[in-house]
Amino acid sequence: MKTETEILHVPYPVADPHGALNMPVYHSVAYEFDTAEQMELAFTGKSPEHVYSRITNPTVQYFEQRVKAASGAAEVISFNSGMAAIANALVAVGRAGGNIVTSPHLFGNTFSLIAYTLAEFGVEPRFCDLTNPAEVERLVDENTCAVFLEVITNPQMEVVDLKALSEICHRAGTPLVADTTVIPFTAFRAAEFGVDVEVVSSTKYISGGATSLGGLLLDHDTFDWRQSAKLRPLVGQFPVSAFSAKVRREIHRNLGACMTPYVAQMQINGLETLELRYQRATRTCRDLAGRVAGLEGVVSVNYPGLPGHPCHDVSLAQFGEFPGAMFTFDLASREACFRLINRLQVIRRATNLFDNKTLAIHPASTIFGTFTEDTRRQMDVHQETIRLSVGLEAADDLFADLARAIG
Ligand SMILES: *Cc1c(COP(=O)(O)O)cnc(C)c1O
């Protein structure tokens, strides 16, 4: 079956007693057993029953199974936010004395996690230009725990050639971990481009219109974890990878950032319309990006789906003609950006990506507002840039709003 069919018809692991067609919200902390022997089996992982909802929950588990069907991943683990998924993945691979090779072009909290939080535990951050293979090769060594990137960075809109980068990683025995939030797995098969582990903020496209926070970790079981000093002892002991086992059995439980059942149900519903919403929003996005470029006062438009963008070819090869529903554009000054944002009547002033409503924000003064000017410069976040997350409105209405606001 094709993904759009399969995504709707994943069977329940256990038949619902009432034949519920929509997965019920199992809001229970604990689960009861008939005998002490059954308890022992379940608690030691020898039988599949749920024991405690921080560890597994029927609604959350079903959400993970739906994502597995939709993405083709070998293992899917959910979290209560995208940041939790990223933190769990990096804590699972990272160790004191090790390093993470990445770009300074990162989501603000991910940058802070790697540059400050993990660094304080002895995991050295190594920032570089991931589009420059020579630089990556110079920095990756036997202590590199992972190479981490975002498939389209924001607000820089940079796209790395994943196949080329993954070859460097795999030659060096390092896993490639990618944040694929901006291109959902229904539209982009990351494993085919050499990505070993995906992390996703399901808050964005998947939640179905900004209904809830959530995160996902997708393990494609493509990396040979015998090459990881930390995970080598676990290799061969678990049905999927040593990495998934480390996350599922240790880090996820110990950090406690589990998805809740109510959120899982909302996100199951979001998954059902994901591909439809994605197609609509990305087509509107490309149309709008092209038209905004022609407005007087717009200095430049940054969307890899437009011919002429420095990453257009690699983006086309990886993500197709419509690479996500987010673009940025530059005006002459920060003041011009503020003026435009303040005049918007249809487009909403808010952060977040891939709400059903179109959202505008000035990244330098908001998402990156607490970083120093130096750090912002290192991250290529400019005062002249506005970011637009395109929703499901008619393109004409969005364009008219922008043209009026800039006029
Ligand atoms: C939003 C976002 C995150 C963080 O996700 P939360 O669900 O807000 O924790 C991480 N990476 C990218 C690319 C994002 O857009």
In the chain, what are the domain boundaries?
3-270, 275-406
Mean pLDDT of 179-196: 97
Burial level of 239, CB count in 10 A (0-12/13-18/19+)? exposed
Q: Can you tell me which atom of ligand 1 is nearest the CA of 213? A: 7
Cα(14) to centroid(ligand 1), Å: 32
User: Six-digit token pair at 258?
Assistant: 């589990």
Cα(51)–Cα(42) distance, integer angstroms: 7
**8 A C-beta contact, residue 197 and residue 178:** yes
Question: Looking at the domain 3-270, which fold is it?
Answer: Aspartate Aminotransferase; domain 2 (3.40.640)
pLDDT of 1 higher than 90: no
Nearest Cα to 350, choosing from 389, 306, 307, 404?
Answer: 389
Percent of the chain with pLDDT over 70: 100
The per-residue pLDDT for range 5-25, each reduced to its tens digit, is: 888 999 999 999 999 999 999
User: Six-digit token pair at 160?
Assistant: 């790395």
Cα(201) to centroid(ligand 1), Å: 5
Nearest Cα to 173, choosing from 129, 143, 197?
Answer: 143
Q: What is the pLDDT of residue 6?
A: 87
Q: What is the pLDDT of residue 331?
A: 98
Q: What is the pLDDT of residue 143?
A: 97
pLDDT of 222 higher than 90: yes
pLDDT of 2 higher than 90: no
The per-residue pLDDT for range 101-115, each reduced to its tens digit, is: 999 999 999 999 999
DSSP bridge partners of 300 = 330
**8 A C-beta contact, residue 10 and residue 66:** yes
Q: What is the pLDDT of residue 152?
A: 98
Q: Going by CA atoms, what residue is nearest to atom 11 of ligand 1?
A: 107
Model confidence at 356, pLDDT cuts 50, 70, 90, reads very high
Cα(365)–Cα(261) distance, integer angstroms: 35
Cα(134) to centroid(ligand 1), Å: 29
Nearest Cα to 288, choosing from 181, 386, 380, 364?
Answer: 386
The per-residue pLDDT for range 112-142, each reduced to its tens digit, is: 999 999 999 999 999 999 999 999 999 999 9
Mean pLDDT of 217-231: 97
Question: Looking at the domain 275-406, which fold is it?
Answer: Aspartate Aminotransferase, domain 1 (3.90.1150)
Q: Can you tell me which atom of ligand 1 is nearest the CA of 83? A: 9
Q: Going by CA atoms, what residue is nearest to atom 2 of ligand 1?
A: 201
Q: What is the pLDDT of residue 239?
A: 85
The overall average pLDDT reported for the chain is: 96
Helix or strand (DSSP H, E) at 146: strand 144-150
| CA distance to 52, 55, 262, per residue, from 46 (Å) | 15, 15, 27
The per-residue pLDDT for range 257-269, each reduced to its tens digit, is: 999 999 999 999 9
324 lines ligand 1 (CB under 6 A): no
Global pTM exceeds 0.95:
yes
203 lines ligand 1 (CB under 6 A): yes
Model confidence at 3, pLDDT cuts 50, 70, 90, reads confident
Q: What is the pLDDT of residue 74?
A: 97
Mean pLDDT of 51-71: 97
pLDDT of 76 higher than 90: yes
Q: Return all residues near 252 (Cβ < 8 A) that are at least 6 apart.
A: 77, 79, 88, 258
Cα(216)–Cα(349) distance, integer angstroms: 27
Q: What is the pLDDT of residue 4?
A: 83
User: Six-digit token pair at 301?
Assistant: 């438009």
DSSP bridge partners of 278 = none
DSSP 30: B
The per-residue pLDDT for range 78-109, each reduced to its tens digit, is: 999 999 999 999 999 999 999 999 999 999 99
Q: What is the pLDDT of residue 407?
A: 83
Nearest Cα to 208, choosing from 354, 24, 60?
Answer: 354
150 lines ligand 1 (CB under 6 A): yes
